[in-house]
A = this chain, B = another copy of it.
Amino acid sequence: MNPKAMFNISYGLYVLTANLDGKDNGCIINTVTQVTSDPNQISIAVNKLNHTRDMIAASKKFTASIISQNADFELFKRFGFQSGKNVDKFAGFTAAQRGANEAMIINEGTNAYIAGWVTQEIDLGTHSLFIARVTDMDVLNDTPAATYSYYHQNIKPKPQAPAPSKSGKTIWRCKICGYEYEGDELPADFICPLCKHPASDFERVN
Contacts and interface: CB of A to CB of B under 8 A. Distances in A.
B111 A3 contact: no
Nearest to A144: B149
B2 A124 contact: no
A37 interface: yes
A112 B5 contact: yes
Given A31-B35, A36-B45, A124-B41, A12 B9 contact: yes
A121 B200 CA distance: 28
A49 interface: no
A2 B38 contact: no
Chain A interface size, as a band, is 35 or more
Interface in A115-160: 120, 122, 124-127, 129, 131, 134, 136-139, 144-145, 147-149
A56 interface: no
Given A1-B137, A136-B1, A139-B4, A9 B36 contact: no
Interface in A1-48: 1-6, 8-12, 31-43, 45
Nearest to A137: B5
Contact of A35 (B4, B45, B138): B45
A198 interface: yes
A92 B8 CA distance: 28
B147 A10 contact: yes
A172 interface: no
A195 interface: no
